[in-house]
Amino acid sequence: MIIGITGSFGAGKGEVVEYLKAAHGFSHHSASGFITEEVVRRELPLNRDSMTLVANELRAQHGASYVVDSLYARAQAAGGNVVIESLRAPAEVARIRELGGFVIGVDAPAQLRYDRAVKRGSEKDAVTFEYFLAQERREQNPGDPTKQNIFEALKLSDIVIQNDDTLETLAERIEAALP
């Protein structure tokens, strides 16, 4: 089984992945991790702006589904059930479906997502709430499949889980969402 995970910043995509790994033995392949590798290789600052720039450049240079295709190739070596996390572009959602997969979207209210992002303490999340929202707006690029458009990817999900409650509730929602 192949499951793609998309969603807004701080919505809990990682929590969904951790649940799928623990409860169902999925192997995890992260688009953010893949892009981070390239940001580091290019010696750019490790922040969300650099990640967006690099991801958009990779898609423009190699094709709109390049990140997913690269992660899928890695996943093939691992075998078994696969979760590919952090789909950011509609073309990535489409590619998961072409591969026979299912896409789960994860969302939550903006303030809750920001609070979670700050709490995890990542370099890419060390911003004000206003800048956090501005970054999300910059990732909306309708009409250009090589650029990120997280809210369009979220809309294209097979199902969207609201992650605005406890981890136990999230687990119940994930189970209900699984094909």
- List of residues 6+ apart from 119 with CB closer than 8 A: none
Is the pLDDT at 93 greater than 90, yes or no? yes
- Residue 62 neighbours by CB distance under 10 Å: 13
pLDDT band at 118 (very low <50, low <70, confident <90, very high): confident
The structural domains of the chain, with segments of one domain joined by +, span 2-173
Residue scoring higher pLDDT (101 or 118): 101
* Residues 111-130 as b or e (16 or more Cβ within 10 Å = b): eebbebbbeeeeebbebeee
pLDDT of the residue at 124 = 67
162-to-13, 109, 117 alpha-carbon distances in Å: 11, 9, 16
- What class is the 2-173 domain? alpha beta
Taking the C-alpha atoms of residue 68 and residue 120, their distance in angstroms, rounded to an integer, is 25
Taking the C-alpha atoms of residue 15 and residue 48, their distance in angstroms, rounded to an integer, is 20
Give per-residue pLDDT as tens, 24-63. Answer: 999 999 999 999 999 999 999 988 889 989 998 999 899 9
The sheet with strand 82-87 has its strands ordered as: 27-30, 82-87, 2-7, 102-107, 159-162
pLDDT band at 123 (very low <50, low <70, confident <90, very high): low
Is the pLDDT at 165 greater than 80, yes or no? yes
Instruction: Give the DSSP H/E element, type plus range, for residue 115.
Output: helix 110-120
Is the pLDDT at 125 greater than 80, yes or no? no
